[in-house]
Structure 1
Amino acid sequence: MKKQPIGIFDSGIGGTSIWKEVIKLLPNENTIYLADSKNAPYGEKSTEEIISLCIKNSELLISKGCKLIIVACNTATTNAIDYLRNNYTIPFIGIEPAIKPAALLSKTGAIGILATKGTLASELFEKTTANYTKNITTVEQNGEGLVQLIENGELNSHQLNELLISYLKPMLNYNIDHLVLGCTHYPYLIPQIQNIVGDNVKIIDSGEAVAKQTKAILKKHNLIASQKKSNHLFYTNIKTNVLSETLSNVLATFTVEKLDF
């Protein structure tokens, strides 16, 4: 079981921001990554549709022998993680916007949350926000359109930058000092975001926390791999070039295959 891969899925390439943190902390682990780009973004879909997509992705990863699955998508986690944990026996790691650390660390008493419509509207997001932001002003913003542009490889496009300006500038009027990225695609936008919000706003994502939780769960179940050489497989159900370009800055050798799922 220890040599079996960690499975990771997302509505596209965004979850690779989580995958990077996982292999940094757990370099001996094999991984299989599913980029469900054909169905991106999940954030615009109904809860029923999101759960159905999560079942499809999970069952594919289980069929490939994964020992643990990371739901590397905020929208999928907030809408489907309970269903997955109740219906499958392998461990599932979810990802939520890092609202708690942002609220605890805020000096101005105001934080911004940039996320998808599906995450912002979810019951789990509402519960987490209520638990940790009682005396904090939270400025929520739906990042509509950002995922599609990232999936199209338009990270540095004028259109994307203009969208970010329209979403982030109004947040600064509330004197936020932390900005929570509530979508795993958004860490790829950190340079542009920091340029817009300035150095007085700290940007927080959940990648490192998810990696630490993954290690803890593997350790608990005695599943941490010990082999020296790891293997990483990536599958996408749409064009492979954007995913390949994203990974080329991290890995010298990797396999990206197109798979109909």
Structure 2
Amino acid sequence: MVKPIGVFDSGVGGTSIWKEVAKMLPHESTIYLADSANAPYGEKSKEEILQLSIKNTEFLLNQGCKLIVVACNTATTNAIDYLREHFQVPFIGIEPAIKPAALQTQTKKVGILATKGTLSSSLFSNTSKLYAEGITVLEQEGKGLVKLIESGDIKSEEMKTLLNQFLEPMLEQNIDCLVLGCTHYPYLIPILRELLPPNITIIDSGEAVARQTKAVLEQNNLMTQENNAPSHIFYSNKDVAVLEQLVNSPSAQISYLDF
């Protein structure tokens, strides 16, 4: 039996990670779980985030997943240590890409757009201390962005207004890198490119996560044979229309699931 890679997120945003994983590992089957009924995680307590992450993990393990990608920055920063300690499969987490931003910046000023749950976590704090010495990291909570993306209102005027409001203080401080610290946010890159000066580099974690997923599969002898025709199954506990729109793949099986 071919075991799939499990992926979960607070909603549809983690599909930005799923796309990178599926591109890098074209023979691997996947099961994606969108907990959209409970989005956004970033405004919940640490205990709530942990309990939801445990529930999502148990669901994916019951589907036979061999590895789980926690495709949510907030769930990674608040729950992944517990998950690794209490479950027997490898976990891949998502951290804001502070390190590549710190290496690239010329102005020594980096902006990060993330959820409250990520920015207030100890993991984020430790990552910043480790990689951003001598760099000014300007943190901005993207309050309201996840809800708009989950509703399919990515190109709305409300979205542009919010983004302008969040970006302005960072631009005034002369950032030259903007780190997207939530897996929903890569879907905003086309709008961000319109709103930002051309000299600003936008950085997200997708490709790095896919590389790490491949490396961990190889280390644990979990890679699927190359002649495998993969299946990609998606579940959501909310309206699946936005999920269908973002995944946009004829091979994907997308279903509503009451969980």
Within 2, Cα distance between the matches of 1:194 and 1:254? 29
- Show the counterpart of 1:131: 130
Q: Deviations over 1:212-236 (max 9, x none)?
A: 0000000001111123311000000
- Show the counterpart of 1:257: 255
* TM-score (structure 2 length as normaliser): 0.98
Within 2, Cα distance between the matches of 1:247 and 1:28? 18
List aligned pairs for 1:101-250, cutoff 5 A: 101-226=100-225, 227-248=227-248
List aligned pairs for 1:82-101, cutoff 5 A: 82-101=81-100
Q: CA deviation at 1:85?
A: 0.2
Q: Secondary structure at the match of 1:229?
A: coil
Q: Deviations over 1:69-106 (max 9, x none)?
A: 00000000000000000000100000000001101111
Q: Deviations over 1:186-218 (max 9, x none)?
A: 000001111111210000000000000000000
Within 1, Cα distance between the matches of 2:198 and 2:43? 31
Q: Secondary structure at the match of 1:90?
A: coil
Within 2, Cα distance between the matches of 1:108 and 1:196? 19
Within 2, Cα distance between the matches of 1:182 and 1:20? 17
Q: Deviations over 1:127-175 (max 9, x none)?
A: 1111111200111000000000000000110001100000012111111
The answer to whether the 8 A contact 2:231-2:251 is kept is no
Within 2, Cα distance between the matches of 1:121 and 1:29? 34
Within 1, Cα distance between the matches of 2:228 and 2:63? 21
The answer to whether the 8 A contact 2:237-2:257 is kept is yes
Within 1, Cα distance between the matches of 2:7 and 2:252? 15
Q: CA deviation at 1:253?
A: 2.6
- Show the counterpart of 1:54: 53
Amino acid at match of 2:256: K
Q: Secondary structure at the match of 1:14?
A: coil
Within 1, Cα distance between the matches of 2:190 and 2:19? 17
Q: Secondary structure at the match of 2:21?
A: helix
* TM-score (structure 1 length as normaliser): 0.97
Within 2, Cα distance between the matches of 1:198 and 1:192? 12
- Show the counterpart of 1:80: 79
Amino acid at match of 1:75: T
Q: Secondary structure at the match of 1:89?
A: coil
Within 1, Cα distance between the matches of 2:251 and 2:100? 35
Amino acid at match of 1:191: P
Within 1, Cα distance between the matches of 2:137 and 2:207? 23
Within 2, Cα distance between the matches of 1:224 and 1:193? 36
Within 1, Cα distance between the matches of 2:124 and 2:252? 35
Q: CA deviation at 1:252?
A: 2.1
Amino acid at match of 2:257: L
Amino acid at match of 1:253: S
The answer to whether the 8 A contact 1:169-1:197 is kept is no
- The 4+ residue runs of structure 1 with deviation greater than 2 A are none
Within 1, Cα distance between the matches of 2:199 and 2:153? 27
Within 2, Cα distance between the matches of 1:148 and 1:175? 28
The answer to whether the 8 A contact 1:114-1:179 is kept is yes
Q: Percent identity?
A: 60
